[in-house]
Amino acid sequence: MKKLIFFVIILAVLGCERNIPPVIPDNNIIYRRVKRVVDGDTIVLDGNEYVRLVGVNTPEMNYPSGPPELCATEATAFTDSLTDGKDCYLVYNTSVGDSLDRYGRTLAFVHILPDSVCLNVEIVRAGWSMVYDKYPIRPDYEELLRSAESEAEENGRGLWNPTENCSSHRIKW
């Protein structure tokens, strides 16, 4: 038993350093398929479940009511490139907040398989969102998000340098 506990602790520590998800005590993880991307911070899973990515707020696509906000096209394309037809699993935010937003979307952290990369963190790391705390963020993920935001800012990625990174500059957000 001591060896098992030691192994789980080692995995948790290594996971935090490599953006691998925290060890989840529940072995009943449900794998899902990403069906489509609505915009940079919302995806649709099999079963038509809409998921709002916690800690992320990308520029809005504004369809069908108007043109996309600055960098929205790039943010949406980035999310699509990481998720297109891939399997994933969700880590819910219920320990610190609600499980659904006011539009009925599931609030979660999405881990893309096969390597379990956290989509939420990678969007921030690429600079397509700053850390967004409208919905409370689990502390284990907030640390990852803040680190990714610092990295994006230091390297002028995405929104941190829209003149270089975004094709349309006519709409400010």
Three-state secondary structure of the chain: CHHHHHHHHHHHHHHHHCCCCCCCCCCCCCCEEEEEEEECCEEEEHHHEEEEECCCCCCCCCCCCCCCCCCHHHHHHHHHHHHCCCEEEEEECCCCCCCECCCCCEEEEEEECCCCEEHHHHHHHCCCCCCCCCCCCCHHHHHHHHHHHHHHHHCCCHHHCHHHHCCCCCCCC
The tens-digit pLDDT sequence of the chain (173 residues) is: 444 333 333 333 344 444 554 444 445 688 999 999 999 999 999 999 999 999 999 999 998 889 999 999 999 999 999 999 999 999 998 888 888 999 999 999 999 999 999 999 999 999 999 999 999 899 999 999 999 999 999 999 999 999 999 986 544 44
CB distance 110 to 120 below 8 Å? yes
Annotation says 146 is catalytic:
no
In CATH, what is the architecture of 27-165? Beta Barrel (2.40)
Q: Which residue of the set 32, 60, 122, 125 is catalytic?
A: 60
Annotation says 18 is catalytic:
no
Q: Which residue of the set 105, 125, 138, 157 is catalytic?
A: 105
Annotation says 52 is catalytic:
yes
- What are the pLDDT digits (tens) for 20-63? 544 444 456 889 999 999 999 999 999 999 999 999 999 999 98
Q: What is the pTM of this model?
A: 0.82
Q: Which two tokens stand for residue 146?
A: 């803040």
